[in-house]
Amino acid sequence: MYPSQTIRILRSTQLPRTACLMLALVGSSCSRERPEPLRSESRAEIAAVEQPPAEVSPQLLVHRGEQLVRLGGCGDCHTPMAFDPKLGMPVPQRHLALSGHPEGAPAPSGQPQAGDQAVIGASFTSFKAPFGVVYASNLTPDPETGLGSWTREEFIATMRSGHRKGTGRVLLPPMPWQNLSNQPEADLNAMFAYLQSLAPIKNRVPQPEVPEPAIAAIAKGYELARAATQEGQ
Ligand code: HEC
């Protein structure tokens, strides 16, 4: 390579890519290089990664579901926490895992101040937002107070649509259903299998204290956000 050529290459905006190529040639990698955007042909390859083999044992399904529920941070809101004075921080109450806002536990006592998104209650399962108070639901399979009577299809429809069982009331913030709405069916299936494998805990979570017009406004907001995302694709 002639010196003038080298200089031209080094000055070009392609420098990081060229440097990476050179590193690759000597067997090193270049972690700063951003991955290429996905080609449309990659969809089939992605589907192959997302799609587990047709026959998965129930134990494997539950194991995978547990991984996803942990990764999804579901317990961060659905498992009550208690403040541990020795540790100086809130810790999850393992024996109440994923059972939602404990019946009779207090709602947040303070009011959100100007600019606050919400005040979080003592058990980290209740949220007082400017539009009202929302309580994290019981995700254990208790038939009366949890998801025991839900079908797999209803769970998946909830996550895809942001409405309970696909057609019911809209799920209120801070439930981050949007994070799950495009998740492969196999993942949602595994998460539901794990939740249904838990020991049922009878715990009747209070209904949200949010006025109807505020619920309607939130439903509208979700629709607008969804339309904006689809436009941006
Ligand atoms: C930031 C807090 C938060 C996180 C994280 C969270 N949730 Fe929720 N979730 C809530 C709240 C609050 C509600 C109640 C919303 C309402 O009443 O509209 C809820 C409601 C639900 C419901 C509806 C249950 C019913 O009976 O209506 C399901 C199902 C659910 N969450 C599943 C999950 C799963 C699965 C995850 C993890 C991927 C998760 N949530 C993560 C806060 C959270």
Q: What is the pLDDT along the chain (233 residues), one digit of tens a residue?
A: 334 443 343 344 444 444 444 444 444 554 556 777 767 667 777 777 777 667 889 999 999 999 999 999 999 999 999 999 999 999 999 999 999 999 999 999 999 999 999 999 999 999 999 999 999 999 999 999 999 999 999 999 999 999 999 999 999 999 999 999 999 999 999 999 999 999 999 999 999 999 999 999 999 999 999 888 877 65
Q: Which of 163, 171, 187, 191 to mutate to test the pocket of ligand 1 (most atoms within 8 A of CB)?
A: 171
What does the alpha-carbon distance between residue 185 and residue 188 come to, in Å, rounded to a whole number? Answer: 5
What does the alpha-carbon distance between residue 80 and residue 123 come to, in Å, rounded to a whole number? Answer: 5
Structure tokens at 172: 């209120």
Q: Which of 138, 175, 191 to mutate to test the pocket of ligand 1 (most atoms within 8 A of CB)?
A: 175
CA of 143 to the centre of ligand 1 (A): 17
C-beta of 174 in contact with ligand 1 (< 6 A): yes
CA of 3 to the centre of ligand 1 (A): 62
Q: For 34, what's the count of Cα atoms within 13 Å in the CB-facing half-sphere?
A: 4
What does the alpha-carbon distance between residue 127 and residue 124 come to, in Å, rounded to a whole number? Answer: 8
CA of 209 to the centre of ligand 1 (A): 16
Structure tokens at 181: 């709405």
